[in-house]
């Protein structure tokens, strides 16, 4: 358990106990929490990567099929705080284009560059129609700058004040508004919009599914059936993790969120070519 998760769940337990909730109720809720790293341009935490900057890839890696978003320095980033079995060093590059549909979970990709690998700088635009005004206008709004990490606790999106309890899952604890609020106020509170998060639960501006991972799975299964990908694609959400989430905050796309998800076994095996990427947009 990361220190942030331990501290914030401890704060929640204390608040809930003071309000008269039973230990069993609190434990069921505490078990829902996941560690997460929230990366922002203007935070006070350590620098663990950057939005934009030069695109550095090994010479034998093909040009990715989507625009460059960010590079994460895995040496500086705490895998424990992210709650993921990430490599202990090297760099993870994320690519995505939120204007695309994600029928086959293919609006982006991830590339892992091992530590010490020789890299060359690539043209960041490569096939992205840099002379076309519509593309250029969107790409010019991609964020730029160093990313600072804050360790936080991630909760299912139902803990947001906008959640409708009509979407409650049967296996979750009974819905209790006061307990939800206590859980929310125990968080670090860095916010989501305009940030990149690593690990945790995916979140949406409006919830149309309980966990966007289920949407990733459906689209990955569709890609498998169409022969667009090979290898096993589990239908069990427990076999998947959220690698990263990007709340784009781009003019005209303020409601768009990009999800990079991967099966845990593929992440352990460093199969970053097996990352599936979807986009949710609430216009």
Say what the pLDDT of residue 204 is. 65
Question: Are the CB atoms for 279 and 253 separated by under 8 Å?
Answer: no
Distances (CA, A) of 87 to 61, 80, 140, 244, 277: 19, 11, 31, 15, 20
Q: Which residues of the chain have pLDDT under 70?
A: 1, 125-132, 157-175, 187-194, 204-211, 283
pLDDT of residue 261: 97
Distance CA 82, CA 243 (A): 9
pLDDT of residue 11: 87
The three-point CA angle 215-217-218 to 5° equals: 65
Q: How far is CA 105 from CA 81, 87, 108, 252, in A?
A: 26, 24, 8, 22
Predicted confidence at residue 162, as pLDDT, reads 47
Sheet containing strand 240-247, strands side by side: 108-113, 91-96, 68-73, 47-51, 145-154, 34-40, 196-199, 240-247, 256-263, 276-281
Phi-psi bin for 194: left (phi > 0), alpha (psi -120 to 50), beta? left
pLDDT at 171: 63
- Look at residue 113 in the predicted model and tell me its pLDDT: 98
Query: Do 117 and 276 meet the contact criterion of CB atoms below 8 Å apart?
Result: no
Compute the distance between CA of residue 64 and CA of residue 270 in angstroms, rounded to an integer. Answer: 17
């Amino acid at each position: 358990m990361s220190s942030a998760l331990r501290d914030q769940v401890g704060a929640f337990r204390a608040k809930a106990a003071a309000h008269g909730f039973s230990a069993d109720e609190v434990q069921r809720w505490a078990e829902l929490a996941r560690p997460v790293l929230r990366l922002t341009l203007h935070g006070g935490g350590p620098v663990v990567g950057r939005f934009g900057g030069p695109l550095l890839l090994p010479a034998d890696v093909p040009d990715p099929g989507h625009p460059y978003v960010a590079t994460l320095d895995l040496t500086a980033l705490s895998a424990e705080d992210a709650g993921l079995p990430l490599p202990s060093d090297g760099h993870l590059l994320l690519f995505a284009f939120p204007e695309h549909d994600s029928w086959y979970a293919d609006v982006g990709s991830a590339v892992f560059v091992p530590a010490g690998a020789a890299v060359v700088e690539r043209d960041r635009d490569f096939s992205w129609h840099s002379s076309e005004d519509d593309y250029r206008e969107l790409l010019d709004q991609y964020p730029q700058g160093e990313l600072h990490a804050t360790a936080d606790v991630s909760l299912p999106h139902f803990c947001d004040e906008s959640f409708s309890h009509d979407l409650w899952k049967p296996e979750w604890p009974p819905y209790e508004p006061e307990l939800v609020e206590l859980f929310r106020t125990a968080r670090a509170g860095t916010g989501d919009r305009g940030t990149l998060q690593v690990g945790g639960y995916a979140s949406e501006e409006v919830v149309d599914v309980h966990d966007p991972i289920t949407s990733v799975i459906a689209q990955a299964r569709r890609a498998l059936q169409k022969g667009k990908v090979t290898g096993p694609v589990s239908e069990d959400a427990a076999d998947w993790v959220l690698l990263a989430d990007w709340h784009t905050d781009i003019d005209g796309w303020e409601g768009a969120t990009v999800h990079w998800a991967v099966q845990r076994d593929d992440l352990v095996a460093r199969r970053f070519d097996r990352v599936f990427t979807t986009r949710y947009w609430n216009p």
